[in-house]
């Protein structure tokens, strides 16, 4: 289909996308950092004006929850030959059938154990049980966030976390929060939840040492309220995630496996026993071990949803809180009688902030990493806008940002 469309000929147009946000620089929240998400080598991001569209956009509402996402087509003359090369490179994907990956998986059988009976389940403050609804959920995207990170959440909803990115893949987004220390922030969380319906809040103080309550709350919530999910994508709210490549590059790695995880796999990381360390774990919390079992760091991972009831049930055996959420949820809880197929993708995901992702896009047609750290909420829209200018033919075909119209001379034209 695509070769006949002759995209190379057709595409002297690139599309400009602009997202308008009032965003202040945000500090990295201490409550969303997982074990391996250290921020070394912080470098100032240099704005790349080439990739930021010059014209303001016409308002185009893409679904209810992203009303401020603004897209406008901007004609940019490109070199036809480089365009041709690019579309050839992507041709390998033209037959990629994402639906097979999702439809080939069954709805998981939820555990019947009630969360109230869980030794460590903290209880819900906000539950939003209808979030997943009764339809298909191909990807449940859940992000650890904290009450005060409203700006990050808004930026993510409007960009890569939107449920409206794909025409034919159902994505649901949920933010997992604990309790803030003040009433004002709590009231704002409740207002935000009433507007967007995408927040789950557990009854625990949102501190670094309490992060494992977030993991347990999430497992309980997915098990109870989103058993139709096929895949789960987990990240922190200071990560950028290229959802197109999650679908085309990461999810296919799980094909054919019952329980599977795709992550920056840690085979044998020492448990930090030095009390001065941020990651200190007492002998009491995790006795008689020197190392963590192999685990997936929580800054970003993809896993098959069939793992949810298994990890959830296993967590009933925990009597003390293991303060490192990812080593616990994506390591200790998978120990035992299941085999998890691991795809280690440490070379294409990265918890650190990238020096200049739009430059990578310009040079390679894609970001070096499928997911990477961001330090300012406005970067979500910057990087997403840049990414939308570089969608492959497959991505264009499956994205709501594009549609193809027939020109009078019979040639197709892709427009926003």
Ligand X SMILES: *[C@@H]1O[C@H](CO)[C@@H](O)[C@H](O)[C@H]1NC(C)=O
Residues in touch with ligand X (CB under 6 A): 55-58, 64, 72-75, 106, 108-109, 122-123, 125, 203-205, 207, 209-210, 213, 306, 310, 337-338
Give me the least distance between CB of 338 and ligand X, in Å please. Answer: 5
Give me the least distance between CB of 323 and ligand X, in Å please. Answer: 10
Closer residue to ligand X (CB): 103 or 106: 106
Give me the least distance between CB of 348 and ligand X, in Å please. Answer: 28
Closer residue to ligand X (CB): 125 or 229: 125
Closer residue to ligand X (CB): 171 or 370: 171
Closer residue to ligand X (CB): 331 or 373: 331
Question: To the nearest 10°, the Cα dihedral for 34, 187, 375, 67?
Answer: 120
Closer residue to ligand X (CB): 220 or 370: 220
Give me the least distance between CB of 368 and ligand X, in Å please. Answer: 31
Give me the least distance between CB of 57 and ligand X, in Å please. Answer: 6
Give me the least distance between CB of 185 and ligand X, in Å please. Answer: 15
Closer residue to ligand X (CB): 46 or 55: 55
Give me the least distance between CB of 271 and ligand X, in Å please. Answer: 20
Closer residue to ligand X (CB): 75 or 278: 75
Closer residue to ligand X (CB): 10 or 110: 110
Instruction: Tally the C-alpha atoms within 13 A of residue 372's C-alpha that lie toward its C-beta.
Output: 20
Closer residue to ligand X (CB): 58 or 364: 58
Give me the least distance between CB of 113 and ligand X, in Å please. Answer: 11
Is 301:234 a contact under the CB 8 Å cutoff?
Answer: yes
Backbone torsions φ then ψ of 240, nearest 5 degrees: -100, 140
Give me the least distance between CB of 197 and ligand X, in Å please. Answer: 8
């Amino acid at each position: 289909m695509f070769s006949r469309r002759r995209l190379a000929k057709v595409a002297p147009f690139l599309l400009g996308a602009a997202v308008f946000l009032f965003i202040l620089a945000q500090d990295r929240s201490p409550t969303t950092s997982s074990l391996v998400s250290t921020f070394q080598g912080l470098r100032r991001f240099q704005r790349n004006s080439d990739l930021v569209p010059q014209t303001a956009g016409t308002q185009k509402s893409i679904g209810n929850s992203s009303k401020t996402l603004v897209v406008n087509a901007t004609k940019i003359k490109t070199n036809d030959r480089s365009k041709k090369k690019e579309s050839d490179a992507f041709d390998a994907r033209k037959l990629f059938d994402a639906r097979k990956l999702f439809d080939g998986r069954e709805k998981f059988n939820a555990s019947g154990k009630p969360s109230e009976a869980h030794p460590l389940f903290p209880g819900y403050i906000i539950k939003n049980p209808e979030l997943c609804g009764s339809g298909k959920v191909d990807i449940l995207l859940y992000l650890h966030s904290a009450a005060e990170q409203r700006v990050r959440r808004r930026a993510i909803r409007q960009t890569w976390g939107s449920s409206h990115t794909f025409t034919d893949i159902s994505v649901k987004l949920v933010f997992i929060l604990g309790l803030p220390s003040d009433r004002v922030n709590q009231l704002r969380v409740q207002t935000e939840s009433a507007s967007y319906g995408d927040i789950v809040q557990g009854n625990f103080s949102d501190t670094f040492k309490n992060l494992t309550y977030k993991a347990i709350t999430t497992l309980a919530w997915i098990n109870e309220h989103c058993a139709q999910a096929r895949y789960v994508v987990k990240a922190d709210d200071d990560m950028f995630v290229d959802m197109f490549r999650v679908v085309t590059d990461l999810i296919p790695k799980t094909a054919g496996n019952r329980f599977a995880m795709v992550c920056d796999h840690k085979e044998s990381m020492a448990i930090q026993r030095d009390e001065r360390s941020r990651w200190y774990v007492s002998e009491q919390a995790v006795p008689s071990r020197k190392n963590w079992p192999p685990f997936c760091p929580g800054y970003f991972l993809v896993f098959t949803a069939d793992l949810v009831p298994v990890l959830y049930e296993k967590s009933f055996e925990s009597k003390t809180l293991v303060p490192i959420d990812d080593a616990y949820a994506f390591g200790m809880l998978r120990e035992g009688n299941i085999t998890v197929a691991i795809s280690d993708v440490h070379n294409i995901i990265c918890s650190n902030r990238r020096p200049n992702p739009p430059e990578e896009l310009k040079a390679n047609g894609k970001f070096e990493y499928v997911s990477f750290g961001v330090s300012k909420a406005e970067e979500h829209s910057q990087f997403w806008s840049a990414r939308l200018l570089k969608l492959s033919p497959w991505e264009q075909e499956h994205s709501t940002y594009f549609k193809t119209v027939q020109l009078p001379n019979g040639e197709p034209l892709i427009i926003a």
